[in-house]
Chains A and B, each alone.
Chain A
Amino acid sequence: MSDDQQASRYSVQEELGSGSFGVVYKAIDRFTSDVVAIKQVDLESTDDDIQEIQAEIMLLSTCASQYVTKYISSFLKGHKLWIVMEYLGGGSLLDLMKPGNFSEAHVAIICRELLLGLEYLHREGKIHRDVKAANVLLSTTGKVKLADFGVAAQLSNIKSQRNTFVGTPYWMAPELIEGSGYDFKADIWSLGITVLELINGAPPLGDLHPMKALVEIPRRPAPKVEGSYSRDFKNFVAKCLDKDCDRRPSAKALLGHSFLKSAGRVEALQELIERKQEWDSHRKGPSHKDYYQETLNDMPSAHENDGWVFDTVKQATIAPRKNTTKRRKLSVNHANGQGLVSGAEDMFKKLDLKDAPLDYSSPSPATVKRVTVRKRPSIAQLTTPTKQRQASSQKRPLQPDMSYGNSASTVRVFRRVSDNSTMGQVDSDVTTALVTTHDENRPPMAETVTKDAVYGRRVFNKVVDPAFQEMHALTSNPAQREALSRLADAWSAFDALDPEGEYQLMKLLIQKAQNDPKLSVQLSPSKTSSRDITPQTSPQKPAAKLVLAQNNPHLKSLRRRQSGMLQDEPREKLANLPGQEVPGIPHTKQIEDVLYGRWAGQLRGRWPNV
């Protein structure tokens, strides 16, 4: 059956929510009249290696257990991947908690069922790695199923351990956070935390910033069940939450725990579903459902006659500008409005929606997973500088407190696959994310006490803010405007947090600019007119701002372009000769060097000794 036929087999209904990677819809199979859930993953909006999504599908498709959401099929529709799964009408445990916390009796049933699910997974060599209330679904009859395998791992060898840093901070086991390697037992810890979540409404440390929670989990004693609960229950949770993962029992061993002996039948969980329905019906306001709409981006493939010229030379007058704007519009359509940001940024956008540590009235905490900032094999290996810069640009400065992991989201590893990528690299980059925790120890609004701080504020009010506004007004390109306003937001966040540093930064910027003879000449206002700007540069002219905006990639490359031309103009004509130094930015020279080295080098492969 072709993919299009497969897609038309399903009549897609309302939106159920968004999980890792995509939006989930309810749908009806026209052949069997079965209700299914379809996750639609827009592959265009992600730089992620498609292989990671395939890995999730493979993991799901090799599960066959009544305790795990059943995978039905997957296929492509255009650039969207549709993953068809069984529909579970009861909703997630997190949803079901909205009317109130769960009783011990309900929790006992859930625990038993979850342990059966985990036992199945672990026996199959799989670690879920993201057990939490949001990822446990109920069928209408009360069956409990593990869902969302977005970060699950398949171990090829039963004995092996993982080091990848994924999961959701509050539910993460201490050994996972400490990076000392972990195995199936990490899921047991998460189960224990999930139990506390179910009876208390939030996981322990849920009021802390997620990154702070990450620091605190290994440091603090294990959380416990407090209050009037049975001894068996308290003991059960204490076993799950043993910080020593070697003493923590396996899923199989826990199934024999006395707490579960008295657990009732799953049908009793229907009470939770009914309770939620009742609660919903008492709530005011019409429930607005988001219905699936087919995006109309199947553009006619008939290309206008403005493509490349491969045969005869025609006049190249057909406006290329018209062509490019069209393309840009297209890409926005394709990515459902997310076309302007890269995959990694997308994730951050989602993260940033919530500023508060854990907002339990809102829909389930976004599960964010590994963000692959893919490093392409380059014509030059410029790995290090790019890497560092990317790390710093990963914060999306729209609100003051924007550091990584701000919402209760599942952390994904930031992986940069470099040229000779090996999986070994996967883990190291987490440290970048962790570094941001240090900022958390500062009060969000630093008191302006020192003299420098006063100057810092003045710098902002008198120089930076007006400069950004002026610059914004001068910029017409929407992408550039967007970038600029993000930078402005970042700066104002910085100003709010650390005016002293702001002043120091300004001082340094001016110093550095003055120390460079060419720049200082260029930047002195009287000579602006003599500047040698290439014709294609957009109207970003006030010179001083170019220095200010050094974090803006647009402006940065513009500046590089300019300074490069200034320095090397005379030699430029020779540039095309092989091995010739390429004038301009040092980067480019490096590219050429490496490239030429590669061409000239003797790199011919040899047949080994087979």
Chain B
Amino acid sequence: MVSGMINEDLLYLLAVNLYRLPFESRKDAQVIFSYVLRFKPANASPKSDPIAVSYIITNKPEVLIELCNGYDHKESATPAGTVLREVLKNDSAAAIILYDDPGAKSPNPQKGLAGIQPNAVQSGQGVFWKFFDWIDKGSFEVGADAFTTFRELLTRHKSMVAQYLSANFELFFEKYNNILVKSESYVTKRQSIKLLGEILLDRANYTVMTAYVDRGEHLKICMNLLRDERKMVQYEGFHVFKVFVANPHKSIAVQKILLQNRERLLNFLKHFLEDRTEDEQFMDEREFLIKQIRNMPAVPVEPTQKPAQLGVAR
């Protein structure tokens, strides 16, 4: 039955037309997807991928792309998103979405997983980059679901994502900072700052983190978050800011900004979110940052260690 569905290309058609189905049928479609994408023949080894999944990643990646495009419609966002998040537990499926790139300069003729060029810089036309607009421009329901999937994509398969972010550092953070962190939507803004902190502090993203905190521009964005009028935005911003300050190899640009604002920062941090008296970790870290800033040498010092080089697979 499952292989019959594969032969008839049913999954693709279902994904493309998901938003056209009526309410209850969309849920049924979601159930069908979940079942089919989990199905393994009785004699399959427990470690192998379900047959529909391996078919999709080698022969029919369009199914995944179309599931993402489910975010184009309010109706299909939730069912498509639910299916996607389940499939994304498979790292090859996640790779297909990340590396989809119809605008690539030298497209690989091979389809699916075999066609992926992990070190090629993305053109920004792939389906992954559409997530920024879905999150920012969609209605609350669509944006929220798209963000959940986006987060899943960026946090589940750590080493793969680390390499992806290294290769596409400029494009990714340009979009991330300008579309998500500066979003008008409170939820998008708050969640994306939080996710940024999580990405930077993930061990696997060490290279990305050192490159990120090396830039004065990034520090400026972050310091402005500390002054946002909404305290949860300030709080999330703090968890990014702390990475800049705690970095023992601050770049000259970063040191300059911090030194220029040293007195302001010290005064500011002293009273920063001071009603958070229950949050021991926060208070400790705030204390730590104050100490770090206070003890900075008066003039910028050449860092002893440069940030790791981006985009180089090691």
Contacts and interface: CB of A to CB of B under 8 A. Distances in A.
Given A308-B264, A330-B229, A607-B118, A78 B284 contact: no
Nearest to B314: A604
A603 B203 contact: yes
A321 B267 CA distance: 8
A257 interface: no
Contacts of A605: 158-163, 166, 204-207
Contact of A64 (B24, B203, B247, B270): B24
A342 B248 contact: no
A378 B238 CA distance: 11
B275 A340 contact: yes
A379 B264 contact: no
A347 B220 CA distance: 35
B140 A75 contact: yes
A378 B162 contact: no
A606 B313 contact: yes
Interface stretch (A109-117, A522-530, A578-586): A578-586
A316 B264 contact: yes
A382 B287 CA distance: 15
B201 A479 contact: no
Contacts of B280: 385-386, 389-390, 553
Contacts of A323: 268
A610 interface: yes
A105 interface: no
A54 B148 contact: yes
B230 A553 contact: no
B198 A588 contact: no
Contact of B287 (A339, A340, A557, A576): A557
Contacts of B279: 342
B interface, over-half SS: helix
A509 interface: no
B314 A606 contact: yes
Contacts of B277: 479, 483, 552-554
Contact of B198 (A43, A377, A557): A377
A342 B231 contact: no
A379 B186 contact: no
Interface string A50-85: 110010011001101000000001111011010000
B6 interface: no
Given A51-B148, A588-B288, A606-B314, A377 B246 contact: no
B113 A610 contact: yes
B230 A334 contact: yes
A591 B285 contact: yes
B142 to A, nearest CB: 11
Contact of B261 (A309, A344, A561): A309
Contacts of A341: 275
B223 A308 contact: yes
A575 interface: yes
A604 to B, nearest CB: 5
A44 B275 CA distance: 14
- Residue among A54, A81, A307 facing the most chain B CB atoms (10 A cut-off): A54
Contacts of B185: 3, 76
14 contacts: A3-B140, A44-B231, A78-B186, A79-B230, A308-B227, A330-B231, A344-B278, A377-B201, A378-B285, A379-B288, A390-B280, A479-B275, A572-B295, A604-B207
Interface of A: 3, 43-44, 47, 50-51, 54, 57-58, 61-62, 64, 73-76, 78-79, 81, 124, 156, 299, 301, 303, 307-310, 313, 316, 320-321, 323-324, 327-328, 330-331, 334-335, 339-342, 344-345, 375-379, 382, 385-386, 389-390, 393, 419, 477, 479, 483, 536, 552-554, 557, 560-561, 572-573, 575-579, 582, 584-585, 587-588, 591-592, 595-596, 598-599, 601, 603-608, 610
Interface of B: 23-24, 27, 34, 78, 82, 86, 91-92, 95, 113, 116, 118, 139-141, 144-145, 148, 158-163, 166, 185-187, 190-191, 197-198, 201-207, 210, 220, 223-224, 227, 229-232, 239, 242-243, 246-249, 257, 260-261, 263-264, 267-268, 270-272, 274-285, 287-288, 291-292, 295-297, 304-305, 308, 313-314
